[in-house]
Amino acid sequence: MLNIGVIGYGYWGPNIVRNFVGTDGAKVAAVCDKNAATFKKLILSNPSILVSSDSKAIIESPTVDAVAIVTPVFTHYELAKRALENGKHIFVEKPFTDSVAHAEELVNLAEQKNLVIMVDHTFLFTGAVKKIKELIKERALGKIYYYDSTRVNLGLFQHDINVIWDLAPHDFAILNYLIADQPVAVTACGRAHINGHEDIAYISVFFSSNLIAHINVNWLSPVKVRTTLIGGEKKMLVWNDIADDEKIKVYDKGIDVTTKEDIYELLVNYRSGDIWIPRLDNLEALKQETAYFVECVKNGAKPINGGQAGLQVVRMLDACDQSLRQNGKTVSL
Amino acid sequence: MLNIGVIGYGYWGPNIVRNFVGTDGAKVAAVCDKNAATFKKLILSNPSILVSSDSKAIIESPTVDAVAIVTPVFTHYELAKRALENGKHIFVEKPFTDSVAHAEELVNLAEQKNLVIMVDHTFLFTGAVKKIKELIKERALGKIYYYDSTRVNLGLFQHDINVIWDLAPHDFAILNYLIADQPVAVTACGRAHINGHEDIAYISVFFSSNLIAHINVNWLSPVKVRTTLIGGEKKMLVWNDIADDEKIKVYDKGIDVTTKEDIYELLVNYRSGDIWIPRLDNLEALKQETAYFVECVKNGAKPINGGQAGLQVVRMLDACDQSLRQNGKTVSL
Amino acid sequence: MLNIGVIGYGYWGPNIVRNFVGTDGAKVAAVCDKNAATFKKLILSNPSILVSSDSKAIIESPTVDAVAIVTPVFTHYELAKRALENGKHIFVEKPFTDSVAHAEELVNLAEQKNLVIMVDHTFLFTGAVKKIKELIKERALGKIYYYDSTRVNLGLFQHDINVIWDLAPHDFAILNYLIADQPVAVTACGRAHINGHEDIAYISVFFSSNLIAHINVNWLSPVKVRTTLIGGEKKMLVWNDIADDEKIKVYDKGIDVTTKEDIYELLVNYRSGDIWIPRLDNLEALKQETAYFVECVKNGAKPINGGQAGLQVVRMLDACDQSLRQNGKTVSL
Amino acid sequence: MLNIGVIGYGYWGPNIVRNFVGTDGAKVAAVCDKNAATFKKLILSNPSILVSSDSKAIIESPTVDAVAIVTPVFTHYELAKRALENGKHIFVEKPFTDSVAHAEELVNLAEQKNLVIMVDHTFLFTGAVKKIKELIKERALGKIYYYDSTRVNLGLFQHDINVIWDLAPHDFAILNYLIADQPVAVTACGRAHINGHEDIAYISVFFSSNLIAHINVNWLSPVKVRTTLIGGEKKMLVWNDIADDEKIKVYDKGIDVTTKEDIYELLVNYRSGDIWIPRLDNLEALKQETAYFVECVKNGAKPINGGQAGLQVVRMLDACDQSLRQNGKTVSL
């Protein structure tokens, strides 16, 4: 049985607790939050969980095997470091840390101590991303041309980070998971209209191939959009994560190019076939992720969303910040 | 009566002819195209129109007052110059020319000769753009924060220009028309997957204020999207040009910021009210534009889509090309 | 403080308990269900609630003031009768009873004993229905021409009732609430394909005026639809209850009829104006209904969804069954 | 070469002429219309077509082989009869005639004279209906449970017929084409709000099996809807004819029923799989229909949309009118 201590019981913490409570082989031993009032309901329904306002009670507890860190990003490094130093496996909210150096240090520390880091890139465990991964793996889309994501809505304004650090980690984590190719550079531009942090930003990610990724994030949109287009040589897909059903549509659509050699002319043919809407597994993503964490700890396995994956996302966020400060200059990764 | 000669009777030419034929005060005197076969139907229904395979027959005709140039962009300058030199007013397909220098020369020439240039920025005459202009003019949206356009679909691959020169002129023309502020710089990045010309590109346009514009153009999208979000301080709107009805939705939605002075803290309030879908004038845009051309010539008026407007769009396209070649570097206008 | 006993803790019961628990002036004193296993979670989070497998413990309890009956329809009459006889106010799931005679008897009994009956017509407390009621009340739609509802989806097959008794109570309750006019007759036809109960049915409701209502209910639809069109002389509206936002669209659209008297000819003009999407109150409907129950009991007020409203819905359901058995014959109410 | 005379050049006539002009093996020899002004454009583009204001010029012309009757329904019988008597094949607008007796007489007359009748049930030639027919034929949907069509929009009010005669012929023709089973009875109810003709109506069609069809027609809807649900034992489909693409979605969704014999209990399982959007042939339906007419005449073949098909639709329309007059009574066919 893996005894888990959860630090942070604000917006997302209750979901983490609920899912670890429901995970075989795991037990939520303790929860801490600065604001003790948040525990009222928790205590009623889970009287056996220890509650505390001090993270020390969890990080230094001999009965805690793993620590889930569900606090604002600027606190992750400090808490994670202490947890690793105390021999705990860690499950950390995204983005992993607030700087590349911090992330690297944690990755190295876990390596030395042979501990598991998992970063909560929940989207990798959704039916949609799993299906897209499967399609790419079996080369159903052919060579990938582009990944184009729009992730906009009204608010929620964050006071310590800009819209890129808030929303783009989802896309970076997904992109790195789906695409075998490594990103080599990013460019980002944006504007701050309200509180000094960019509330709108446009990010391009370049790869060594001619694949291009683009991410449009915006806290000032009147409509919520979560749409990703992935174009491939053979097929293309649209992933609309807002849709109740029919989240993914696969289009047998594209362009075939032939060359009439004698006249050196390119002939472009448009292809348009059936559309296919695969049924997706609709298990709760976070439940699968918490189970996977328990499994990785048990087997000493490296998670797909481990420290390296978390670090790579932070690298991309950091490069975006550099590009933003230089008015959209391309920044190598 | 304004006698009009039309050069080019390919994809768009028949629309130009049809609309000038139906415009009071105008008469289509002659049409020319290299491919004489295209005239068959035209001659049957409009036997009085002279047809020819040589543009000279139009440009040097003493009975032609104005010339409509509906040919590929690389031919515009040469034809337009000859037409102006022969004292003809000109109506030119978008984009105006293939270079800034060419556009400037034509603008100067028309100025000297006191002739009208109109560039076919048809969108300015749609019910949608007219309604948005009206809303911005009466300050219904408040200060504009951003203009974010997605203009993607499968094909039509052009052989001489990239996707920016094909699709972005629409957005640049609309943007310049709607926004009083001047754009000061652009950045563009994209990739070519098929025929050596960029088929996907992402453009940001910067202004002296913190308004930002972004344009997503793509010839490789499995779905057709023509959606523009315009966010303002007071209201926001979504313009979906694909929709049959309900093209424009105005959202009484936004963010109010107040400051509690004593604690120097920003309070962000979300506002969410009714949505309003204004009825739009659904006259044919091109018909209104051709009538406006006749009127401008008659009154010696400067069109809103005159040479300067066309030149500004070409400047932005040219800056995009420079940015593309420098991997997304910001290029001043 | 109103002490409430809840009978039935299956699919809907937990919602009733949760909402009464959160209602000022109410206290859930006891819950009973035949299946004791269902209580596990309830007891943890609400240890003060008495649980039992016998309804007697609630109905005859001297400390219980009101009984919520959240059981299958065929049990309502018996439980409600005993509760009223024991001097309890009752809150009953829809449909009120399984026969007109039963409903009438309960209404009379409550009348004699001066007790409140409330039937759980939850929809009347939604933002959507409240807004439509307001629009009709202020005569914004003008004279109502029709009410046309489609309420279809896959399953949930009921084993004791047909699709009309399952889904149409919503529409009948809404219709009776919105429309001042009394329905005078119904006709219904349908077919059973799976288990001997009609899984598809089409219902028309006639009024003394030329208003007509139609309800399409179906357990065998591949898509979920919850759309109601209401057409009026002045305006028309579409209520799409599936939509996350934008549930109600009000169309300034319609037909104006004028008569040229001398030629006895009808001139029909089509009117098409703006569309308006009002912001709706998005409080939880059931929470408002439970608060309203407490208020009605306290003030001895007749609820809008009282015994008479419940009886009228049962009358319409019963008439539908008669019509079904006579192959769609019109049955007076 | 089949010489065709077209009677009626109002709203639909120009489409008929354009398509017969473009059909191999056919020649539009003459067109007549009471209103001579309508011909202006026709004469310009097709100077060889004879025009006239008198149908006699067509019906009695020795050079005309077939007559297309594109006039209001109350005139069809008289014109069609004269045409057949003069040995002409006929192509008649839907609905075929205004009464069953008239339709029967024409069918018999054509039979005697060995002439082809084709009724313009254009929908049978659309990519959507052809695909649905194919799916039903190959038993992809399994046993059909229901056909449920909604065909509503604002206007166009007809002055001589009600909304059933205007819109339901489409559904009756499609239904009779798709479903092998014969309809045995109909019921219809509706209301007239504007000009004395029903503008809203609800029609049910019964079959000897437990298949049920329902058609919702309405001239007073603020939104245009053209949606048909077809539910089968194995699969279900939604046909949205308004959609630009993706008109037909096939759902691998349904209900499986098993019986546990020993306990005589029905077990209902819900099945939910992929969705498939087949690419449809998007040739112009009317063009295929006119080519088919020429072919049927040449080969002396009985069209799928021949006199019998037209007669059956008229029978159903007539039964609807009887049902309307008897307040929704079921009328046998």
What confidence tens digit (pLDDT) does each residue in A25-75 have? 999 999 999 887 888 888 877 888 999 999 999 999 999 999 999 999 999
Q: Retrieve residue B326's tokens.
A: 């420098």
Binary contact (A193, B210; C-beta < 8 A): yes
User: Once rounded to an integer, what is the mean pLDDT over residues C117-138?
Assistant: 98
Which tokens go with B103? Answer: 């556009």
- C-alpha closest to that of D147 among D173, D121, D167: D173
pLDDT in tens, D187-213: 999 999 988 899 999 999 999 999 999
Alpha carbon dihedral C214, C215, C216, C217, in 10-degree steps, equals -160
* Cβ <8 Å between B45 and D47: no
- Cα separation of A238 and A232, whole Å? 11
What was the pLDDT predicted at A262? Answer: 53
> Which residue did the predictor score with more confidence, B257 or B314?
B314
How many other CB atoms sit within 10 Å of the CB of residue D123?
20
Contact in structure between A29 and A64 (CB atoms under 8 Å)? yes
pLDDT of the residue at B159: 74
Cβ–Cβ gap C229/D212 under 8 Å: no
Can you tell me the ipTM of this complex?
A: 0.93
What tokens were used for B185? 């710089």
**pLDDT > 70? residue C265:** no
Please answer whether residues D24 and D51 qualify as being in contact, where contact means their C-beta atoms are separated by less than 8 angstroms: no
Find residue B236's DSSP bridge partners.
B231, B251
pLDDT digits (tens, 9 = 90+) for B184-223: 999 999 999 988 899 999 999 999 999 999 999 999 999 9
* Amino acid symbol at D320: C
* Lookup: tokens for D53: 């204001």
Instruction: Tell me the average pLDDT of chain A.
Output: 93
C-alpha to C-alpha distance for B245 and B247, rounded to whole angstroms = 6
Closest C-alpha among A178, A181, A180 to residue A130: A178
Closest by alpha carbon to D317, among D176, D156, D130? D176
The DSSP output letter for D65 is -
User: pLDDT tens across A87-114, in order?
Assistant: 999 999 999 999 999 999 999 999 999 9
Interface test with A, best of D251, D275, D282 (most A CBs within 10 A): D275
Q: What is the pLDDT of residues C232-241, one digit of tens each?
A: 999 999 999 9
Average pLDDT estimate for B319-333: 94
Residue B44 contacts D, CB cutoff 8 Å: yes
> Closest Cα partner for A146 from A120, A121, A181?
A181
Mutual orientation of helices A100-113 and A307-325 as an angle, nearest 10°? 170
Distance, CA of B218 to CA of B200 (rounded, Å): 4
User: For chain A, which chains pass the contact test of at least 3 CB pairs under 8 Å?
Assistant: B, C, D
Q: Is C220 on the interface with D (CB under 8 A)?
A: yes
- CB-neighbour burial class of residue B95 (10 A; exposed 0-12, middle 13-18, buried 19+): buried
Instruction: Assess whether the previous peptide bond of C156 is cis (omega < 30° from 0).
Output: yes
* Cα–Cα dist B12/A325, whole Å: 44
Residue C225 has pLDDT above 70, yes or no: yes
> Which residues make Cβ contacts (< 8 Å) with residue A112, sequence separation at least 6?
none
Quickly state the pLDDT bin for B112 (edges 50, 70, 90). very high
Amino acid at the residue D313? V
Nearest Cα residue to C166 out of C131, C133, C195: C195
Matching residue, tokens 């997957």: B193
Which pTM value belongs to this model? 0.94
Contact call for residues A4 and A29 (beta carbons, < 8 A): yes
Q: Considering only CA atoms, which of C94, C331, C320 is closest in space to residue C198?
A: C320
Q: Is the dihedral of CA D289, D290, D295, D301 positive or negative?
A: positive
Residue count (chain A)? 333
**In chain B, what residues touch C278 (CB-CB under 8 Å)?**
274
Residues D238 and D248 sit within 8 Å (Cβ to Cβ): yes
State whether residue C279 sits within 8 Å of chain B by CB.
yes
Neighbours of A251 (CB within 10 A): 25
Strand (E) or helix (H) holding A258: strand A248-260
User: Strands across the sheet with D2-7, in order?
Assistant: D50-52, D26-32, D2-7, D66-69, D89-92, D117-119
Tell me which residue of D239, D269, D249, D235 sits closest to D139, measured CA to CA.
Answer: D235
A44 contact residues in C (CB cutoff 8 A): 44-47
Write down the pLDDT at residue A39: 84
Task: Give the contacts of C74 (CB within 8 A, at least 6 positions apart).
Answer: C98, C160
Do C189 and D211 make contact, defined as CB atoms within 8 angstroms? no
pLDDT digits (tens, 9 = 90+) for A259-278: 655 545 566 778 889 999 99
Do D44 and B41 count as a contact with CB atoms less than 8 A apart?
A: no
Mean pLDDT by 10 residues, chain D (333 residues): 95 94 94 87 83 93 97 96 98 97 98 98 98 97 97 82 96 97 96 92 96 97 96 96 94 79 62 93 95 97 97 98 93 95
For residue A257, what are its two tokens?
């190019």
Q: Return the biggest CA–CA distance within chain D.
A: 81
* Phi, psi for B234 (deg, rounded to 5): -95, -45
Nearest CA in chain A to D281: A273
Q: pLDDT confidence of B69, banded at 50, 70, 90?
A: very high
The confidence score (pLDDT) of residue A259 equals 63
DSSP state of D303: P
Say whether B44 and D41 touch across the interface (CB within 8 A).
no
Beta bridge partners of A201: A190, A217
Nearest to A230 by CA among A173, A145, A170, A129: A145
The token duo for D172 is: 């009756």
B11 — pLDDT class (breaks 50, 70, 90) = confident
